[in-house]
C-alpha cells in the first residue's frame, strides 16, 4: 500500500497493493492496522454505496461538527472525478480543492478527513461508488456547497449541458455563505 500526498494536509490518495494472476485480482480494500500505520486513524462505522449514470454530479456535501465525517472513497465499477474542498477555517489551504480520478481500473482510494466537503462527477456510462464513514449520517448536521461555486472553479469534466444535478444540490449556498464550524 502506498500513500500519495495531495499537497493539502491530511487529504491523501491510497494506492493499494494489487495481486493479479490468471484468475483475476485481489487487494485489501481496508485493513485497520495497516491504514493506521499509514496515518489514517478513522474508526469507520458506516459503509455506503451509490450507483449513478454519466453526467451525474453529487456534492459538495459535508456534515457540521460534532457529526463531521472522514471518508474513505473508491469506485468498484466505472470512473469518477472525485473532489474534496478544505473547509477548515484555520487551514492554510482553506477553500482549496483537490480532485482525483477514481476507477475500477486504477483501484485508487481517496481519504477525505473531517472538515472537508466532498463530491464527484461520473465520467463513465455508469459508476458504483463506495464510501466508508467514521460518523453516522446526521440529517440535522447535513450541509453543502454549490457544486459550481465560481470561487472554487472546479472543472467537473462534464459539459454543462450533460450535467445531472439533484434539486437538493442545486440549492446549496456558495462557500462564502456556507455554515462552517471546523
Contact present, 116 and 87 (Cβ < 8 Å): yes
The residues near 66 (Cβ < 8 Å, ≥ 6 apart) are none
As annotated, the active-site residues are: 61, 131
Residue 44: asked if its preceding bond is cis (omega within 30°), the reply is no
Using CA atoms, how far apart are residues 94 and 146, in angstroms rounded to an integer?
Answer: 16
The residues near 41 (Cβ < 8 Å, ≥ 6 apart) are none
| Grid cell locating 64 | 457540521
Instruction: Give 119-172 as a DSSP string.
Output: EEEE-SSEEEEEEEESS---GGGEEE--TT-TTT----SS-GGG-B--TTGGGP
Amino acid at each position: 500500500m502506498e500513500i500519495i500526498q495531495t499537497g493539502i494536509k491530511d487529504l491523501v490518495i491510497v494506492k493499494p497493493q494489487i495481486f493479479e494472476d490468471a484468475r483475476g485480482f485481489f487487494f485489501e480494500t481496508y485493513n485497520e492496522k495497516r491504514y493506521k500505520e499509514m496515518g489514517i486513524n478513522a474508526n469507520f462505522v458506516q459503509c455506503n454505496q451509490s450507483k449513478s449514470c454519466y453526467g451525474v454530479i453529487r456534492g459538495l456535501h459535508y456534515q457540521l461538527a460534532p457529526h463531521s465525517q472522514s471518508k474513505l472513497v473508491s469506485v468498484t465499477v466505472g470512473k469518477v472525478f472525485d473532489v474534496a474542498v478544505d473547509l477548515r477555517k484555520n487551514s492554510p489551504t482553506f477553500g482549496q480543492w483537490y480532485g482525483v480520478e477514481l476507477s475500477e481500473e486504477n483501484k485508487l482510494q481517496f481519504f477525505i478527513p473531517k472538515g472537508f466537503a466532498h463530491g464527484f462527477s461520473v465520467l463513465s456510462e455508469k459508476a458504483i461508488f463506495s464510501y466508508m464513514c467514521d460518523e453516522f449520517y446526521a440529517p440535522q448536521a447535513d450541509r453543502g456547497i454549490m457544486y459550481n461555486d465560481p470561487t472554487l472553479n472546479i472543472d467537473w469534466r462534464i459539459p454543462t449541458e450533460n450535467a445531472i444535478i439533484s434539486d437538493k444540490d442545486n440549492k446549496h449556498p456558495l462557500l462564502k455563505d456556507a455554515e462552517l464550524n471546523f
